[in-house]
Chain A
Amino acid sequence: MRAVLVVARQVVNEAARRRLLLALVLLTLVVIALTVWGVSRVDDLRNAGQPLSDAQKKTIVSQLLILVMFMFSWVLSFAALFVAAPAVSGELESGVALAILARPISRAEYVLGKWLGLAAVVVVYGLTAAVIELVAVQAVSGYQPPHPVEFLGFVLGEGLVILTFALALSTRLAGMVGGVVAAILFGIAWLGGIVGGVGAAFNNATITHVGTATKLILPTDGLWRGAVWSLEPSLVIAAQSQLGPAVAANPFFAAEPPPAPYIAWAMAWIAAMLLLAIWSFRSREV
């Protein structure tokens, strides 16, 4: 366990020393400043010369927040993906790993330490940035999404899924290759969610199953739907639901949270992928 923590601390240390954290913090501050400015302008909007009703303003702010958080979830996921994809392979290629692995440390401890360190970076960054964003929007507009805690859980879960996947790839593929593969699959999973929604809209079982399968194979989009749901005020859900089943294809809308078994599946998926990463690295010759 000690070795796991030593490796994890090195990952965090590297992220800090190489100014990854600084870059993330600075860019996040820019995004938050832009969001606050945008939300503050909603008060000035007019509809045929009349000020907007509170319900209209709330809807607009909620939709703005969903768009910003959609971007944030991509930033978080891609940051996780890009730090995890070279985490093992990069150290093997450079030779840094040789001296470490010749110490009394098992391959499992090395992989677990990498995961723990990367997960700490992603969770701490994601949590801090998302909370500041939510608080800033509330301070400017008075709007608070209905399920902020669930939102944090879903969006961080999405980041951890792609992180674990990229780390598993990193035990076998060069950082660049693993990063590209993970990014493409992340995109396919997102599209799969839309495709599945189209299937549901047109009552096509085959297409619906494709969507369900992608949600199970890489549960990033499935968790994103949970994040969207937790940001939607009930009046938006009510209004959208009247549009019929077609709205299921809209990646910025979810009528219901993911069912509990799906959340359990996503957690089990992360654990299984981590075990796969350990197994893969154990059998790897360096």
Chain B
Amino acid sequence: MAVATGAIRLDHVTKRYAKVVALDDLSLSVDHGVFGFLGPNGAGKTTAVKILLGLTRPTRGSGSLAGGAFGSKASLGRIGYLPELFRYQSWLTAREVLALHCELAGIARARWPSEIDRILATVGLADRGTSRVGTFSKGMQQRLGLGVALLDDPAVVLLDEPTSALDPVGRHDVREIIRVLRERGTIVFLNSHLLSEVEQVCDAVAIVDRGKVVAQGDLAQLLRTSSVRIRASGISRDARAAMGRFGELDDGADGAVLIKGIERERIPDLVSAIVASGARVYAVEPQHESLEERFLSLLGQ
């Protein structure tokens, strides 16, 4: 892979803990949009984010975040981060937590009240600003954590499982927030194992399993491999052989044939081949493969 450029860059990063390899020669580059970093639990997603933030050091490899070295003040000054294990000072109010982060982020004091108001409204906590964090539900704490990550419009926002504690309304809200961020030009790095969510908001994804990237690219490109259902009569042995060259065959109960793992651009060729073999085609129905199906098939490999 060519050396990556961009706002988020990991070049051949390996992380080993004693005998466990958390990340194995991971390379990726994100310079715009919403990037989904997907994988099952324990795949190394959080380790990758912690390396970007300098909280953990890579065993090998290099990279950068928001134009600065991992963990450098220059880099950390331009990013927002919602940890997977989010917890905020229970003895402070939501406003005080945000004020603390305003101060740590170096935001001018005069701007704090308006910035805090804006953030509380964005994450739906406008009426709970003066409540102690200790009285918050997990979902409210996660909303607050998202607010902390969004303070001062950072250039890059890293969200590690941002909806793990949220109900369906909360998840919807987070998707809307991410869409607004994308429109504003913010780069969002989204760690998740909730595929339907990722599918709805991400421009590009990398699927990681046991520390290795198993697939990476635009979502549309990644889901290009699909399946197609063919209804035809007079399918000879030769016709089946011809179809088998395009993908794995699966006979449906209704007499149709499903060809799995075919790229969309090859569907017309498939139809030509079937017709050339003498069969009569009644219907061609491309099937949309969901990210989940793709994910499971990749992990199964």
- Separation of A95 and B161 alpha carbons in the complex (Å): 14
A99 sits at the interface (CB 8 A): yes
The answer to whether the Cβ of B283 comes within 8 Å of any Cβ in the partner chain is no
- Chain B's closest residue to A15 (CB) is B91
Does B181 sit within 8 A of A, measured CB to CB?
no
The verdict on A94 contacting chain B, using a C-beta distance below 8 Å, is yes
| Known A-B contacts A6-B100, A99-B101; A17 and B91 likewise in contact (beta carbons under 8 Å) | yes
Give the A interface residue count (CB, 8 A): 22
Chain B interfacial residues counted at CB < 8 A: 28
Partner of A103, one of B74, B101, B145: B101
Name the interface residues of A109-139: CB closer than 8 Å to any CB of B.
Answer: none
Closest to A283 in B: B57
CB contacts under 8 Å to A, within B103-137, are 103-106
Q: Are B55 and A98 in contact (CB under 8 A)?
A: yes
Q: Are B91 and A104 in contact (CB under 8 A)?
A: no
Contacts of A105 in B (CB 8 A): 73, 76, 104
Q: What 0/1 pattern do residues 58 to 85 of B give for CB contact below 8 A with A?
A: 0000000000000001101101011101
Asked if B104 and A3 sit within 8 Å, CB to CB, the answer is yes
Q: Which residue of B lies closest to A94 (CB)?
A: B87
CB of B89 closer than 8 Å to a CB of A: yes
Main secondary structure of the interface of A (DSSP, over half): helix
Q: Is B233 an interface residue (CB 8 A)?
A: no
Query: Closest B-chain residue to A285, C-beta based?
Result: B56
> Closest chain B residue to A17 by CB distance?
B91
Contact B55 A18 (CB under 8 A): no
Bound complex: CA of A106 vs CA of B87, how far in Å?
20
Residue from B85, B92, B104 in contact with A104 in the complex, judged by beta carbons closer than 8 Å: B104
A286 and chain B: residue at smallest CB distance: B55
Q: Does B50 contact A (CB under 8 A)?
A: yes
Q: Is the CB of A100 within 8 A of B91?
A: no
The residues of B that contact A6 with a CB separation of less than 8 Å are: 100, 103-104
CB of A237 within 8 A of chain B? no
Task: Write the nearest CB–CB distance from B35 to chain A, whole angstroms.
Answer: 18
Contact of A104 with B77 at beta-carbon distance under 8 Å, contacts A3-B104, A285-B57, A286-B50 already known = yes
Q: In the assembly, what is the distance between CA of A200 and CA of B65, in Å? A: 62
> What is the minimal beta-carbon distance from A38 to any residue of chain B, in angstroms?
37
Contacting residues, chain B, for A17 (C-beta < 8 A): 91-92
Q: Is the CB of B85 within 8 A of A95?
A: yes
- With the chains together, A285 CA to B15 CA distance in Å? 12
Interchain pairs with CB closer than 8 A, number: 67
Residue A13, interface by CB 8 Å: yes
Question: How far is the CB of A92 from the nearest CB of chain B, in Å?
Answer: 10
Residue of A13, A96, A100 near B104 (CB, 8 A) is A100
CB of A10 within 8 A of CB of B106, answer: no
Contact check, B76 vs A99: say whether CB atoms are below 8 A apart.
no
The answer to whether residues A102 and B79 also contact, given A10-B100, A285-B56 and a CB cut-off of 8 A, is yes
- Chain A residue numbers with a CB within 8 Å of B100 are 6, 10
Docked CA distance A103–B151 (Å): 11
- In Å, the complex CA distance between A201 and B87 comes to 56
Q: Is A101 an interface residue (CB 8 A)?
A: yes
- Assess whether B53 is interfacial by the CB under 8 Å rule: yes
A43 contacts the other chain (Cβ, under 8 Å)? no
The interface residues of chain B lying within 8 Å CB-to-CB of A102 are 53, 55, 76, 79, 81, 83
Q: Which residues of B are found within 8 Å of A103, using beta-carbon distances?
A: 76, 101, 104-105
B148 at interface (Cβ–Cβ under 8 A)?
Answer: yes
A96 contacts B88, C-beta separation under 8 Å: yes
A99 to B85, CA, bound (A): 10
Could you tell me the distance between the alpha carbons of A17 and B100 in the complex, rounded to whole angstroms? 15
Is A14 located at the chain interface by the 8 A CB criterion? yes
- Chain B residue nearest to A102 (CB atoms) is B81
B158's nearest neighbour on chain A, judged by CB, is A102
**Chain A residues near B89 (CB-CB < 8 A):** 10, 14, 96
Kindly report which residue of chain A lies nearest to residue B89, judged by CB atoms: A96
| Contact across chains for A286 and B104 when beta carbons are under 8 A apart | no
A100-B104, A104-B77, A286-B55 provided; 20 other pairs, C-beta below 8 A? A6-B103, A14-B91, A95-B85, A95-B87, A96-B87, A96-B89, A99-B81, A99-B83, A99-B88, A99-B101, A99-B148, A101-B55, A102-B55, A102-B81, A103-B104, A103-B105, A104-B73, A104-B76, A104-B104, A105-B104
List the 3 closest A-B pairs by CB distance, nearest first. Answer: A95-B85, A17-B91, A103-B104
Binding site for A on B (CB under 8 A): 50, 53, 55-57, 73-74, 76-77, 79, 81-83, 85-89, 91-92, 100-101, 103-106, 145, 148
17 contacting pairs across A/B (C-beta < 8 A): A10-B89, A14-B91, A94-B87, A95-B86, A95-B87, A96-B88, A99-B81, A99-B86, A99-B88, A100-B104, A104-B73, A104-B74, A104-B76, A105-B76, A285-B55, A285-B57, A286-B55
